[in-house]
Amino acid sequence: MSSCNPQVLVQRSQEARKLAYCPYSRFRVGAAVLTSDGTVFTGCNVENACYTAGLCAERTAISKAVSEGHTTFKAIAIASDLEDRFISPCGACRQFMREFGSQWDVYLSKTDGSFKQMTVEELLPCSFGPDDLRARENP
């Protein structure tokens, strides 16, 4: 998958959603992230009895990619069981995505496979990122 095919990326996120471990919320979420070299990594939400220790699907997929040496992304698709509206990443996931750039695509989807395309920057305007910290290194 060298080019960004949104339908395929959404489908992969829907498949990942089926693996979600969410015994508490019963809110399944899957994500599929496309790296700059065309590799796709998927992830699902993994809940924990200690709620704050859980992981969202987006952070799971991105962490899998980073753990395999990928830090440049083209797109991510997110899927849930919501039928009447597009799933949107939480604030923590928006910031996590921002760590790896603000100009890559985010596909918010519904269960029927329809999607809405945005960028990380559109989801997190006026964001704080790595460049803000680099500016402090050489005053």
Annotated binding-site residue? 51: yes
Q: Does the annotation list 33 as a binding residue? A: no
Is residue 121 part of an annotated ligand binding site?
A: no
Is 49 within any annotated ligand binding site? yes
Of 93, 100, 111, which Cα lies nearest the Cα of 14?
Answer: 111
Do the annotations mark residue 93 as ligand-binding? yes
Q: 47 among the known binding-site residues?
A: yes
CA distance 8 to 69: 23
**Catalytic position from the list 15, 58, 83, 137:** 58
138 is in an annotated binding site: no
The two beta strands, 105-109 and 73-80, are: parallel
Q: Where are the alpha helices (DSSP H) in the chain?
A: 6-17, 57-67, 91-98, 120-123, 130-137
Contact by Cβ (8 Å): 105, 122: no
For residues 32 and 72, what is the distance between their CA atoms, to the nearest angstrom?
14
Catalytic residue flag (residue 68): no
- The annotated binding site is made up of 45-51, 56, 90, 93
Q: Which residues are annotated as a binding site for Zn(2+)?
A: 56, 90, 93
Catalytic (active-site) positions? 58
Known binding-site residue numbers for substrate: 45-51
